Chains A and B, each alone.
Chain A
Amino acid sequence: KQEVTQIPAALSVPEGENLVLNCSFTDSAIYNLQWFRQDPGKGLTSLLLIQSSQREQTSGRLNASLDKSSGRSTLYIAASQPGDSATYLCAVPASGGGADGLTFGKGTHLIIQP
């Protein structure tokens, strides 16, 4: 059964720093990997989707990488801002094609200090 681990569980950094969030998964036979952002008590906002054939995907100050063979992904946030404060979740299909949904990590709770 697919398991997803996110490290660190929490992170607090001053504004302006570049930072890296880590995600690892146990079954490397995935079609894609998705990063989400969740604000307190709110819904999940999709940030980036990386297909299994891709190595990385970029959106603005965000860059996500994928190394399927090692079962790892990283989310790089450049020049962090207080508005980036949220919980970041990594998710992969629970099995193969993903018919039975996503398996999520527990998330990294990020605080950017002004």
Chain B
Amino acid sequence: EAQVTQNPRYLITVTGKKLTVTCSQNMNHEYMSWYRQDPGLGLRQIYYSMNVEVTDKGDVPEGYKVSRKEKRNFPLILESPSPNQTSLYFCASSNWGTMYNEQFFGPGTRLTVL
């Protein structure tokens, strides 16, 4: 089954404790990205990657890092989480560069930073 998976689905942590949210897709997509969703602000892009070893900042990259060492994986790293990073996070992938670049989203990771 074609899908985007994220782990963990739920995470409660404390300020300053480094964490990684993993994202994996099995559709051989070149393009992957991370979004956060907050009440009243909607979905905003954090980082994106157009291919292995190619990443770029989205609209709200501060406090986040990403890496793309393999085509299927795109982890999101919070080096020193803060309470304002409490949010619902989504990973997405697509066949960017084609006209039919439908975006597929993962199930989401609900992060709470205390």
Q: Does A70 belong to the interface (CB within 8 Å)?
A: no
Q: Kindly report which residue of chain A lies nearest to residue B50, judged by CB atoms.
A: A99
For B48, the chain A residues whose CB sits under 8 A away are 99-101
Q: Does B105 belong to the interface (CB within 8 Å)?
A: yes
Q: Contact: B108 with A43, CB < 8 Å?
A: yes
- Least CB distance, B45 to chain A, in whole angstroms: 4
User: CB-defined interface of B33-44 with A at 8 Å, one 1/0 digit per residue?
Assistant: 101000010110
For A105, the chain B residues whose CB sits under 8 A away are 42
The listed residue (B105, B107, B110) touching A46 by CB distance below 8 A is B105
Q: By the criterion of a CB under 8 Å from any partner CB, how many residues of chain B are at the interface?
A: 27
Q: Does B62 belong to the interface (CB within 8 Å)?
A: no
Q: Contact: B43 with A104, CB < 8 Å?
A: yes
Q: Contact: B102 with A98, CB < 8 Å?
A: no
For A89, the chain B residues whose CB sits under 8 A away are 43
Task: Compute how far the CA of A97 lies from the CA of B112 in the bound complex, rounded to whole angstroms.
Answer: 34
Q: Does B96 belong to the interface (CB within 8 Å)?
A: yes
Q: Contact: A34 with B102, CB < 8 Å?
A: yes
For A102, the chain B residues whose CB sits under 8 A away are 43, 45, 92, 103
The listed residue (A34, A42, A91, A99) touching B96 by CB distance below 8 A is A99
Q: Contact: B35 with A101, CB < 8 Å?
A: yes
- Least CB distance, A74 to chain B, in whole angstroms: 19
Q: By the criterion of a CB under 8 Å from any partner CB, how many residues of chain A are at the interface?
A: 25
Task: Compute how far the CA of A42 lies from the CA of B108 in the bound complex, rounded to whole angstroms.
Answer: 7
Q: Contact: A31 with B99, CB < 8 Å?
A: yes
Q: Does A72 belong to the interface (CB within 8 Å)?
A: no
Given contacts A32-B101, A43-B108, contact A98 B96 (CB under 8 A): yes
For B92, the chain A residues whose CB sits under 8 A away are 101-102
Q: Does B79 belong to the interface (CB within 8 Å)?
A: no
Supplied contacts A100-B58, A107-B42, 13 more A-B pairs, CB within 8 Å: A31-B99, A31-B101, A41-B88, A41-B108, A46-B102, A94-B45, A97-B96, A97-B97, A99-B96, A101-B58, A101-B92, A102-B103, A104-B43
What are 6 sample pairs from A and B whose C-beta atoms fall under 8 A apart? A32-B102, A43-B106, A44-B105, A100-B45, A101-B58, A102-B92
